[in-house]
């Protein structure tokens, strides 16, 4: 119930106001009455009313002075003035008090009801607004962890933010961090995250993420001030405020403890999980944390050359030379020539020379190394297709080689992976050199290479070599390990790859030139063969060149 008090120096007016209206229907109780402003003040102090009906002109203290005093103490209370016709000057003063309304004596019942309905409507609106604000504040408080994470991500991405606005956000988010302290960013990254998380349930993934952040925060809180958050899946960022006394000297004991504790936890959770930590340089204040994060990110990318499961500092890149892409391309050309010999030792030697060049190149990054490895696989694939050896188990090995390469993160792993695959390729080349292909198979391959752009069928081939369709299908499969249709598709796909890389022909033109009538079917076959769309393949090859 809403509480109402009536303040008027006339008993008949007070009594009439109590009885002339059914206050209960409005959810209002008349909680008290007073005969002047002084007693009205005392009554309001005890009852804490929601509504005050008061006369303007009263002895001792008039209604205007009383309301003026009560407004500060009861800001949500609604005031309604009652005045006689001869109190116009008083009434003008009353209207300056932000009263809800005023009623002239003698009180008209309809007018009084209208004023009360107006008050109740205002009260309901205010209550709804308060409820909405309370709900919004509750939701805001629940969102504080997310807002903190958003703030940190903006810190490391945008940087150089306005100091005043940053300090306001620090205060609002209740962060125990100083803007002026020197800071250092650390990146903790799970090695091969796609492979690691692919075999895990989402529950275990979230459990590991929570545990890593919790362990890091406990260690940071014990030694320094700072915060940790998950930047992306498998990457955790620590923003560390360095203490004035120890400064940068605290970083390496901190990182050592982090590495030891996290590795201990992860070894108990799953043996396959390991970490690499990148350490950024120290910056003067919080507004420069983006610079430190960038240094940490560049440092951790050097695990491509330095290996995983270790701490890498931002200054590790100092003594490296620029990339000599001309020499790299020359080594790829030599590799292509050596591959044709099938000599495992020589192929391995050429790979070692190429990767030695990559390892000492400062300007080369992970994506560039990955593209060069893909280029080696493209050269190998082109050679195998040209000589009809991309078939059977070797074809499966090639698909696996492409897929696995995209998951590797260090240059040593990439080199070992390529050596393993190329050893199998060299063995196939050697066995091919020892076993001559029957003339009829060579004839079928020549026909396909000459007529791949036509609507070529097995019946056409059979008639040209004067043998039955069934026989040539069985013989071809037996000798090559793949069907005639698979070989036709492979020849067409290799021609398509060639046109995509050396010409600017439209996809529809390439489709028609290799024997396909429908571009959509060609695209489907090309994606099945290479793992990517024709347009993506063209873009990739152009970037590598």
Tens digit of pLDDT for each residue in 469-488? 888 888 888 777 778 998 89
The yes-or-no verdict on residue 492 having pLDDT over 80 is: yes
- Measured in whole angstroms, the distance separating CA 261 from the mean position of its chain's CA atoms is 26
One domain, residues 235 and 345: no
One domain, residues 374 and 264: no
The yes-or-no verdict on residue 433 having pLDDT over 60 is: no
pLDDT band per the 50, 70, 90 thresholds, residue 544: low
Please, which residues have CB within 8 angstroms of residue 444's CB and are 6 or more apart in sequence?
461, 465, 472, 476, 484
- Tell me the two tokens of residue 459: 């019946």
Q: What is the pLDDT of residues 391-413, one digit of tens each?
A: 556 667 777 887 788 788 788 88
**Per-residue 3-state assignment (H helix, E strand, C coil) for 13-48:** HHHHHHHCCCHHHHCEEEEEEECCHHHHHHHHHHHC
One domain, residues 170 and 54: no
One domain, residues 121 and 156: no
**CATH code, domain with 219:** 3.30.70.270
One domain, residues 126 and 33: yes
CA torsion angle 434 440 444 447 (round to 10) = 110
One domain, residues 394 and 456: no
User: Which structural domain, as residue segments, surrounds residue 425?
Assistant: 325-434
Average pLDDT of the segment spanning 349-376: 80
Q: Could you say which of 372, 402, 434 is where a domain stops?
A: 434
One domain, residues 246 and 348: no
The C-alpha angle 296, 298, 304, rounded to 5 degrees, equals 115
One domain, residues 429 and 444: no
Peptide bond into 178 cis (omega under 30): no
One domain, residues 368 and 501: no
Instruction: Answer yes or no: pTM beyond 0.75.
Output: no
One domain, residues 151 and 16: no
Q: In the predicted model, what is the mean pLDDT of the chain? A: 83
The yes-or-no verdict on residue 432 having pLDDT over 70 is: no
pLDDT at 319: 45
The yes-or-no verdict on residue 377 having pLDDT over 80 is: yes
Please, which residues have CB within 8 angstroms of residue 404's CB and are 6 or more apart in sequence?
417
The yes-or-no verdict on residue 196 having pLDDT over 60 is: yes
One domain, residues 379 and 527: no
pLDDT band per the 50, 70, 90 thresholds, residue 89: low
Q: What is the pLDDT of residues 213-248, one digit of tens each?
A: 999 999 998 888 889 999 988 899 999 998 877 777
One domain, residues 273 and 166: yes
**Is 486 in a helix, a strand, or coil?**
helix
User: CA 373 to CA 353: how far, in whole Å?
Assistant: 13
Q: Could you say which of 419, 434, 449 is where a domain stops?
A: 434
Q: Could you say which of 434, 457, 482 is where a domain stops?
A: 434
Domain count along the chain:
4
**CATH code, domain with 93:** 3.40.50.2300
CA-based nearest residue to 10, from 103, 90, 82: 82
């Amino acid at each position: 119930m809403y509480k109402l008090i009536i303040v008027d120096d006339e008993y008949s007016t007070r009594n009439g106001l109590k009885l002339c209206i059914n206050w209960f229907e409005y959810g209002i109780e008349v909680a008290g009455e007073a005969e002047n402003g002084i007693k009205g003040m005392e009554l309001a102090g005890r009852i804490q009313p929601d509504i005050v009906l008061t006369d303007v002109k009263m002895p001792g203290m008039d209604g205007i002075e009383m309301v003026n005093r009560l407004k500060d103490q009861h800001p949500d209370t609604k005031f309604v003035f009652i005045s006689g016709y001869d109190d116009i000057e008083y009434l003008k003063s009353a209207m300056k008090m932000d009263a809800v309304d005023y009623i002239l004596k003698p009180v008209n019942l309809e007018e009084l009801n209208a004023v009360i309905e107006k008050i109740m409507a205002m009260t309901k609106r205010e209550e709804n607004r308060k409820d909405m604000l309370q709900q919004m504040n509750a939701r805001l408080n629940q969102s504080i962890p997310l807002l903190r994470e958003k703030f940190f991500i903006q810190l490391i991405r945008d940087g150089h933010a306005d100091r005043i606005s940053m300090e306001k956000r620090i205060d609002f988010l209740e962060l125990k961090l100083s803007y002026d302290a020197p800071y250092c960013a650390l990146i903790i990254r799970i090695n091969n995250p796609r492979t690691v998380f692919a075999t895990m349930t989402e529950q275990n993934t979230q459990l590991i993420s929570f545990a890593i952040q919790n362990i890091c925060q406990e260690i940071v809180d014990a030694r320094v001030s700072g915060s940790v958050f998950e930047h992306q899946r498998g990457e955790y960022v620590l923003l560390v405020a360095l203490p004035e006394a120890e400064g940068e000297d605290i970083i390496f004991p901190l990182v050592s403890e982090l590495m030891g504790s996290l590795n201990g936890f992860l070894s108990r959770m799953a043996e396959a999980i390991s970490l690499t930590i990148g350490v950024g340089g120290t910056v003067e204040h919080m507004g420069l944390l983006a610079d430190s994060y960038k240094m940490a990110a560049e440092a951790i990318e050097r695990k491509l050359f330095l290996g995983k499961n270790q701490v890498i500092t931002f200054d590790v890149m100092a003594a490296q030379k620029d990339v000599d892409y001309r020499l790299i391309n020359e080594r790829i050309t030599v590799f292509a020539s050596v591959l044709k010999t099938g000599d495992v030792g020589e192929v391995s030697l050429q790979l070692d020379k190429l990767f030695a060049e990559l390892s000492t190149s400062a300007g080369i990054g992970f994506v560039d190394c990955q593209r060069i490895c893909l280029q080696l696989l493209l050269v190998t694939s082109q050679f195998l297709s040209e000589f009809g050896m991309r078939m059977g188990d070797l074809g499966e090995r090639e698909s696996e080689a492409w897929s696995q390469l995209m998951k590797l993160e260090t240059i040593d792993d990439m080199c070992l992976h390529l050596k393993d695959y190329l050893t199998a390729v060299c063995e196939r080349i050697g066995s091919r050199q020892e076993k001559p292909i029957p003339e009829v198979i060579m004839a079928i391959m020549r026909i396909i290479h000459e007529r791949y752009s036509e609507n070529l069928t097995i019946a056409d081939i059979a008639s040209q070599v004067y043998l039955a369709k069934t026989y040539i299908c069985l013989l071809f499969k037996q000798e090559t390990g793949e069907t005639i249709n698979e070989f036709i598709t492979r020849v067409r796909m290799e021609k398509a790859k060639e046109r995509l890389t050396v010409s600017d022909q439209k996809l529809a033109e390439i489709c028609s030139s290799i024997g396909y009538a429908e571009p959509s079917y060609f695209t489907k076959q090309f994606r099945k063969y290479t793992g990517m769309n024709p347009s993506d393949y063209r873009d990739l090859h152009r970037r590598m060149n």
